[in-house]
Amino acid sequence: MDYRIEKDTMGEIKVPNDKYWAAQTQRSVENFPIGTETMPSEIIKGFAYLKKACAHVNNKLQRLDDNKTHAITKACDEICEGTLDGNFPLVVWQTGSGTQSNMNINEVVASRATELLGEDFRVNKLIHPNDDVNKGQSSNDTYPTAMRIAFVLELQKQLFPAIKLLKDTFTKKVKEFENLVKIGRTHLQDATPLTLGQELSAYVDMLQKAQNQLEDSMKYIVELAIGGTAVGTGLNSHPKFSQMVCEVLNEKTNTNFKFVSHPNKFHALTSHDGEVFLSGALNALASNLMKIANDIRWLASGPRCGIGEITIPENEPGSSIMPGKVNPTQSEAMTMVAVQVMGNHTTVSISASQGNFELNVFKPVIAYNILQSIRLLSDSIVSFNDKCAIGIQANIENINRYLNDSLMLVTALNPYIGYENAALIAKTAHKNGTTLKEEAINLKLLTKEEFEKYVQPAEMTYPKE
């Protein structure tokens, strides 16, 4: 490989000649050969939006000339478009402030901007990574800002649409099955009846509440640390810099959630309780998805020796040894995602507790885990919707058989013969292998006509005066 020599305050170092990064990025490549988890592309894009906004604001404040501003802006646009992919090699496991990733962006933007101005960046840099691209900034305020930009963009682009997709599917299923009465189950035991539509309506509400919680967390995530610089005082920044950057970001990103300057920059740098709130909402969504996916695979279990009240699409062979076996693989994938998200929440919670004095130095791992959670949840929800939920069908034969065989229909008799007598009918029928009606008549507690009047499953699915 062809190399060139780059310099920084630590001295000279070899850098691949075909890359736009410089000395500080290269030092991180060499100093942190840890894992395979590179800095998420969403963070890189968040940085690009931020550096572009900072350049515009520095230009408005007459701290950066027009030529440099235009070149920096164009380089940032290219990062967002993906044309500079391959220039961001740094791993998550680096300095906890994300300093090297901030400098990776600064160096790439500086080199590409220099090139856009007609100069060979390998020979002479017309744009300086610190003095121009990083003007009025510190890694300590840019990294937490970039990651929050990434969170907002990914939630709006990926997760919220995914939640709506699945919620809409279940809403249609609720309507489709609104009058289909089935037996309920609590403690994995038979319970009183409900409709299949009522059962699925819980999922609609779960998904809506999860989205509400995520939207609630946005009021913290839109508060940006930019302008705090090193320790929150704003040293080397302009008093209006933070507010102006937020205004430009709102214009350039066009999100539904408007960025604002964090009211206390000391809080913004040292604490990530907002990220814990967001991660907690993602964790709650994961818990609901775990419940939904488990219910679906239980209800579809079988096909002959399980519950089998619903059928789900058969997507692929389920066994390398048992011919014809088909498994609830979409439920399995979603529950694995849920477990991963729950683990990520633990990581985020512990990481956020590690703010010492003026800075939390677990920022990259917080960003990595939250973005992974958003991505996995979004992908798995869409996959589960398209390859499972849409194809849910009711198995009427099994539903009716379980409903009519259930001993818990006896609950409808409580108001007429009392709990003790109703329990006697149920226990006797279970012991003798007979029906509730037979034992109610045999025990002389009800006539045939009275039993049929009182025990009507469809009438047991809603309260009565």
Residues with catalytic function: 187, 319
Q: How far is Cα 18 from Cα 312, in angstroms, rounded to an integer?
A: 52
CA diameter of the chain: 103
128 in a known ligand binding site: yes
130 in a known ligand binding site: yes
Neighbours of 189 (CB within 10 A): 9
Q: How far is Cα 335 from Cα 380, in angstroms, rounded to an integer?
A: 9
Q: List the Cα angle 462/464/465 in 5-degree steps.
A: 160
Q: How far is Cα 45 from Cα 29, in angstroms, rounded to an integer?
A: 20
Radius of gyration of the chain (CA): 30
Cβ(91)–Cβ(32) below 8 Å: yes
326 in a known ligand binding site: yes
Cβ(106)–Cβ(54) below 8 Å: no
Structure tokens at 47: 């940085």
Cβ(41)–Cβ(150) below 8 Å: no
97 in a known ligand binding site: yes
Structure tokens at 295: 């219910």
144 in a known ligand binding site: no
Using omega within 30 degrees of 0 as the cis cutoff, is the peptide bond preceding 303 cis? yes
Q: How far is Cα 280 from Cα 257, in angstroms, rounded to an integer?
A: 19
138 in a known ligand binding site: yes
Structure tokens at 106: 């600064």
272 in a known ligand binding site: no
294 in a known ligand binding site: no
Cβ(423)–Cβ(380) below 8 Å: no
Q: How far is Cα 99 from Cα 25, in angstroms, rounded to an integer?
A: 10
Burial 4-13 (b: 16+ CB within 10 A, else e): eebebeeeeb
Helix (H) or strand (E) holding 235: none
45 in a known ligand binding site: no
140 in a known ligand binding site: yes
98 in a known ligand binding site: yes
Considering only CA atoms, which of 249, 40, 297 is closest in space to residue 158? 40
Structure tokens at 108: 């790439």
Long-range CB contacts for residues 125-133, cutoff 8 Å, separation at least 24: 126/68, 126/71, 127/68, 127/71, 127/72, 129/22, 129/24, 129/103, 130/106, 132/64, 132/68, 132/72, 133/51, 133/55, 133/72, 133/105, 133/106, 133/109
Q: How far is Cα 249 from Cα 16, in angstroms, rounded to an integer?
A: 33
Using omega within 30 degrees of 0 as the cis cutoff, is the peptide bond preceding 239 cis? no
The secondary structure of residue 133, as a DSSP letter, is: I
Considering only CA atoms, which of 312, 284, 298 is closest in space to residue 206? 284
Structure tokens at 413: 């008799």
Could you tell me which residues are annotated as the binding site for substrate? 97-99, 128-131, 138-140, 186, 320, 325-327
Could you tell me which residues are annotated as the binding site? 97-99, 128-131, 138-140, 186, 320, 325-327
